[in-house]
Amino acid sequence: MTAVRERATTVVPRGRIVAFFVLVAACWGTLLAAMPQATGDPVLITTSPGSTEVVKSPGHVLLTFDRPVPAGLATVRILDPDGSQVVHERPVHPAGRDDTISVPMPKERHEGTYAVAWTLPSSGLQPISGSFTFDVSYRIDPEGVPDIETTHDPVLAAVHLTARAAAVVALVLLTGLAVFVAWNGTTRRARRWVKATWWVSAGATVVALLSFGPYAAWAPLRDAFDPRLLSGALASDAGGALLARLYVLVPATLGLAQLMTSPPAATAGERRLRVAAVLGCATALLATWPLAGPPLVLAADVAVLALVAVPVGWLVLSRRWAAVVLLAATAAGVVLLPGGHVPGQPPAALRNQVAPTRLAYDTGKPGGQGAVDLVLIPTATRLDAHVSVLNDDVSVTAVLTAAGRTVPLPLHHAGTGHWAGSAAVPERGRWELALTLRAADGSTQTIPQPIDVR
C-alpha cells in the first residue's frame, strides 16, 4: 500500500507531459524561427566610385560590405571640393542588394575631389567607421573629412539603456515567480507580482526596440518612429533579438496564464514537470538578452540569469530583503556580463577601417584588363583578406612571402566578384602579399602588395 501511495505521488498523466512538452517546444521553436543569426561585424570591401578613382560624374556613391548591413542605421556624409557637406539623408539599399548602401550625389556636381565618411553600428553597437576620396574629372585636394556625430542623445541613451535593463530584470524576476507558482501553487501576492513583471518586461522591450534605431544611428529620440530607423533596427542582429523576445512571449504567456489558473500540483512528479516547463520557456526568453551572441557565450549568460531567477522569485514572495540584493546584482549583470548593453568593443581594425585599395591589372590579353579592390586586416597572428574583382571573369589566388618564407593564403569565392580568406602569420614584420589574377583565357598577372603585420 505504501509503495502504491509513493508511486501515485510521482506519476504524471501522459497528457500533461505532452502538453508541457508542446509548450516548451513552441517557445523554442518560435525563438529559433525569429532569432537572427549572428552575422558579426561588417567589413567594407568595395566602393563606387573607388578610393582615389577619377570619374566623370557619378549619380550615386555605393559602399558594399562583406555581409548584409542595415541601411537605415548607417550614416554617410560627403564633402564637395569647396568643403560643403552635400549629403544629409540616410542611405538606402539598391534593389536586391542588402550588402550595399547607396546615397545620391547632388544634382549640381563640381569638378575636384570629394571626401566621403561613413559609419555603421557594430554587433556590439560601437561605431565602425571609415573614409575615402574620389575625384570628379581631376584631383583638387579636399578641405577635410566630413564629421559624423557619434555622441548619443543623453535622453535617448537613458531611455534605451533603462528599458533594456528593466526588461531583463523583469524577465529574471518573472522566471523566479513562475518557478515559485509551479512548485507551491498560486497566491494573490504571486498573481500581482506576475502581472506587474510581465507588463514591465513586455513594455520595456517595446520601448527598447523603438529606441534602438536612433540609439544605434546616433539620432535623437524624436526620430524613434522614423520608418527608416525602425526598419534598420529590425534588420539588425540586436533589434531582431528584441523582436524575437516579443514573439516568444506569446506562447510563454499562454503557458503562464494556464499555470496561474491551475490548482496546485497534485504530485511531486507534476511539480517537477511544471518547474521544468517554466525553465524551458524562460530560457528561451532569456536567450534573447545577449542579442544574438555566440552560442557558448549565450548559453553561459542564460545559465547565470536562470540561476539568479529561482532564488529571487522565492525571496520576493517571502518578503525578504536578500531579494533586493539579488535584484541589484542582476541589474549589474545586465551591464557588465558579455552580451549586455556595454559589450566589448570590436577590434581597432574594424572600428576605423581603411578604405579598400584599388589596384589595376592587365594580364596582357583581351578581356584581361580591370581592377580589384583589396582590403587587408592584419593582426599579430592573422591576416584577413577581401578581394573584390570588378571583372567577374577573373579568379584570384594569394600567398604571403617574407625573407624567403611562403605562407599560403587560401581564398574562397564569397559572392559575386568577392573573394575572401585568412592565413595565420607566423611572425610580425614586413610581409608581401602576392595577388595572382587569372583571366578566363588562362592569362595571369601577379600584383605585389607590401603589408606590415604588428
> Do 31 and 284 contact (CB within 8 A), yes or no?
yes
Which pLDDT score, from 0 to 100, does residue 378 have? 82
356-453: which CATH number, 2.120.10.70, 3.20.20.140, 3.40.50.720, 2.60.40.3340?
Answer: 2.60.40.3340
Judge whether 44-136 and 356-453 match in fold.
yes
Residue 149, pLDDT > 80, answer no
Q: Structure pTM?
A: 0.80
> Do 289 and 339 contact (CB within 8 A), yes or no?
yes
Across the range 241-262, mean pLDDT stands at 93
Give the pLDDT confidence of 29-67 residue by residue, as tens digits.
Answer: 999 999 887 767 889 999 999 888 888 888 899 999 998
Going from N- to C-terminal start, the domains of the chain cover 2-34+156-336, 44-136, 356-453
Residue 10, pLDDT > 90, answer no
d(CA 307, CA 330) in angstroms, rounded, equals 11
Residue 108, pLDDT > 50, answer yes
Instruction: Classify domain 44-136 at the CATH topology level.
Output: Immunoglobulin-like (2.60.40)
Dihedral of CA 214/219/225/226: which sign?
Answer: negative
Give the pLDDT confidence of 85-104 residue by residue, as tens digits.
Answer: 888 788 999 988 889 999 99
**Average confidence score pLDDT of the chain:** 83
Across the range 337-352, mean pLDDT stands at 49
